[in-house]
Amino acid sequence: MFLVDSARAASDWDGINATIKKILEKAKVEIVSMRKWDDRKLAYNIRGIERGTYILCYFKAEGQKIQEIETSVRLSEKIIRALILSTVQMTKEDIEKDTPAAKAEKEKQKTTSGQQENEVIEQGDQQEDFQAVQDLIFDEAAEDIEQAEGAEAEGPQEPKAVSDD
């Protein structure tokens, strides 16, 4: 797990990733997976930095290479901290699990697509309502026309007398 300044990560994400890859490749390790884990407020300021971006990286390395990696991290200006742990028991499924950042992105996309879907449904409902009103108007107009045509066919009619009984 590598910790970098969030502001620097936002402005130079590719540069941060390149730095980490360069450190790991220099140590001749095999990178299995590398992705953003999350962006969080730090428990305390480190070098005046309040927020950090965590980058989760799985790699295969010999034990003696770890010290070389840690030394390179300490010399790097872009990486604030690093934590290297052994993950012998990790399965491929465990490594590929969504990180908090990936979950947040999926939720954001889900919400966005849900809003778009709701808008489409709402537009469809509005179109159905419009069509129903339009059909009703046309049906009433057709009835009026039929009545008018029927009245013309019968000819002029005498007014009926209304009795007071």
Of 87, 107, 134, the residue at which a domain comes to its end is 87
CA atoms in the 13 A half-sphere facing the CB of 136: 6
Q: What is the count of structural domains for the chain?
A: 2
Q: Characterize the bridge pairing of strands 49-60 and 30-46.
A: antiparallel
Query: What pLDDT shows up at residue 108?
Result: 79
25/46 same-domain check: yes
- 76 & 43 share domain: yes
Domain membership flag for residue 165: no
Q: Among 47, 66, 87, which residue terminates a domain?
A: 87
Q: What is the pTM of this model?
A: 0.61
> What's the half-sphere exposure (Cβ side, CA atoms, 13 Å) at 67?
2
52 found inside a domain: yes
pLDDT of residue 99: 78
Look at residue 3 in the predicted model and tell me its pLDDT.
94
Residue 13: which CATH number? Answer: 3.30.70.60
pLDDT at 103: 78
Residue at 163 is within a domain: no
Specify whether 6 is located in the same domain as 41: yes
Structural domain span for residue 118: 99-150
Q: Give the C-alpha separation, 19 to 3, whole Å.
A: 12
52 and 128 share a domain?
no
- The set of long-range contacts for 87-93, using a CB threshold of 8 Å and a minimum separation of 24, is 87/58, 90/58
- Cβ–Cβ < 8 Å for 22, 57: no
> How distant, in Å, are the alpha carbons of 5, 27, 43, 53 from that of 16?
10, 17, 22, 10
pLDDT at residue number 53? 93
Per-block mean pLDDT, blocks of 10 residues, the chain (165 long): 92 93 93 90 90 92 90 91 84 77 80 64 63 64 62 57 55
Separation of alpha carbons 16 and 12, rounded Å: 6
